[in-house]
Amino acid sequence: MIQITSLSKSFGNQVVLKNISATFNTGGVYGIVGENGAGKTTLFNCIAGIEAHEGQITAHHTPLKNHLGFLQTEPFFFSKITGAEYLKLLCRARHKPVVQPEQKNIFELPLNQYATTYSTGMKKKLALMAILMQENDYFILDEPFNGVDIQSNLLITAIIQKLKALGKTILISSHIFSTLHETCDEIYLLQNGSFTKRVLRADFDLLEQEMKQVFIGNKIEQLALK
C-alpha cells in the first residue's frame, strides 16, 4: 500500500501539486489521467523520491524508493552500456541474483547493442524488463504504451495483469484510455495539480465520455475542416 497525505509541490511561484491525498492498496492498479502539464510526472517523481515535497508519502516497505520500479516516460541510459549490462546493473542495485539477460528477453531486444542506439520503444521495453527483474513491490509506469508497437502493448497489458495477480501496487499514466480500461481498478483525474475525480471500473465508460466532452468540446467545429 502507498498512502499519500496532503502532498503539495511547487517550483518557485508555480504550484504544480495541491494538497493531494490518496490510498493505493496492495494488489491494485491505479490509472492517473490528465492533460499535459496537469502534474502527473511531478506526482510520480515525488512518490519515487526524486522530488522534495510537502506532505507525507508512506508505504508498507520503507524506504519506498528501494522497493519501487519506476518506468519513466524517457528512460535514461549511460552512453556506453549495452542492454545486457543495463539489466545486470539494475539487478545488482537491488541485490538480486543476475540471471542471463537473454533468458528474460521477452521483447527480443538486441541486448549486445548500446542502449542509447535503441529506438524510443526499445528503450522503454528495456527499462521495463529491468524493473521487472528487480522483483519490486511497487511500480510506477509513466506512459508505458507510448511509442511501443501493438504486439508489445498487448504483452505489457498482460504483464500488468500478472503483477496485479502477484499483489503488486501499480500506478499508470497513459493517454490511451483503452489501455487503462483493460488494466486499472480505479482511475484518478488530475486537473490543475489536484485530484478532481476518482472513478471505479464500473464507471470508466462514463469518465471517458466526460473527458471527451471537456477536452474535445467544440474544437473540431472550430477547425472548420474542409
End-to-end Cα spacing for the chain: 52
DSSP 8-state class, residue 161: H
> Do residues 94 and 46 touch, judged by C-beta distance below 8 A?
no
CATH classification of 2-223, choosing from 3.30.565.10, 3.40.50.300, 3.40.47.10, 3.90.870.10? 3.40.50.300
Over residues 149-199, the pLDDT tens digits come to: 999 999 999 999 999 999 999 999 988 788 898 899 999 999 989 999 999
Query: Measured between alpha carbons, how far is residue 127 from residues 26, 28, 202 in Å?
Result: 23, 22, 32
Q: Judge residue 97's burial from the number of C-beta atoms within 10 Å of its C-beta, 0-12 exposed, 13-18 middle, 19 or more buried.
A: exposed
Q: What is the mean pLDDT of each run of 10 residues along the chain (226 residues)?
A: 96 94 97 90 96 95 94 93 95 88 92 96 96 96 92 94 97 88 94 93 88 78 84
| pLDDT score, position 221 | 83
Q: Where are the domains of the chain?
A: 2-223
| pLDDT score, position 132 | 96
pTM summary value:
0.93
DSSP 8-state class, residue 20: E
| pLDDT score, position 164 | 96
- Name the pairing type of β-strands 14-24 and 2-11: antiparallel
C-alpha cell at 44: 510520480
Strands (DSSP E) along 25-106, which ranges? 29-33, 54-59, 68-71
Q: Give Cβ neighbours of residue 221 (< 8 Å, ≥ 6 apart).
A: none
In this structure, the number of other CB atoms found within 10 A of the CB of residue 120 comes to 13
